[in-house]
C-alpha cells in the first residue's frame, strides 16, 4: 500500500510531504509536514476547515472552487507521475484526500 509522498500544485510546487498514511472509508489520511506552501494557501485551507467545522455550508462551494484552482496532485514515494486528488483537507496535523476516479 502507498503510504508516503508529496502533495504538489499545478505549478509543480511541493506543498507538503506526507507519511504513515492509511485509507479509511475511501479517504487517504496521513501525517504531514509543510514544505513550501504559501501563507495564502495555508489561509485558504484554514478557511475551508473553519467553514466545515462551523457547518457554514452555504460558503462551501465557493471555497471548494478556490481550492480546485490549485490543481492539487500527489506524487507517491518511489513514483514520478502525479495523481490528481480531490477533497484535500488539512486538520489536526493530518492531511486527507481522495484520489480522483477515472471516468468509465
Transcribe 50-94 into DSSP letters: HHHHTT-GGGHHHHHHHHHTT--EEEETT--S-EEEEEEEEETTE
| 8-state DSSP, 11 | T
In residues, how long is the chain? 104
Could you report the per-residue pLDDT of 74-91, keeping only the tens digit for each?
999 999 999 999 999 998
pLDDT in tens, 91-104: 888 999 998 665 44
Cell of 93: 496535523
How far is residue 74's CA from residue 62's CA, in Å, rounded to a whole number?
Answer: 23
Q: What is the pLDDT of residues 5-45, one digit of tens each?
A: 999 999 999 999 999 999 988 899 999 999 999 999 999 99
pTM (predicted TM-score): 0.88
Amino acid at each position: 500500500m502507498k503510504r508516503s509522498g508529496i502533495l504538489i500544485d499545478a505549478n509543480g510546487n511541493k506543498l507538503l510531504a506526507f507519511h504513515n498514511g492509511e485509507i479509511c472509508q475511501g479517504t487517504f489520511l496521513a501525517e504531514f509536514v509543510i514544505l513550501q506552501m504559501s501563507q495564502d494557501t495555508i489561509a485558504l485551507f484554514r478557511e475551508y476547515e473553519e467553514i466545515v467545522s462551523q457547518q457554514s455550508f452555504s460558503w462551501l462551494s465557493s471555497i471548494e472552487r478556490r481550492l480546485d484552482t490549485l490543481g492539487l496532485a500527489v506524487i507517491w514515494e518511489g513514483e514520478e507521475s502525479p495523481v490528481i486528488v480531490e477533497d484535500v483537507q488539512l486538520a489536526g496535523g493530518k492531511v486527507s484526500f481522495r484520489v480522483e476516479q477515472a471516468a468509465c
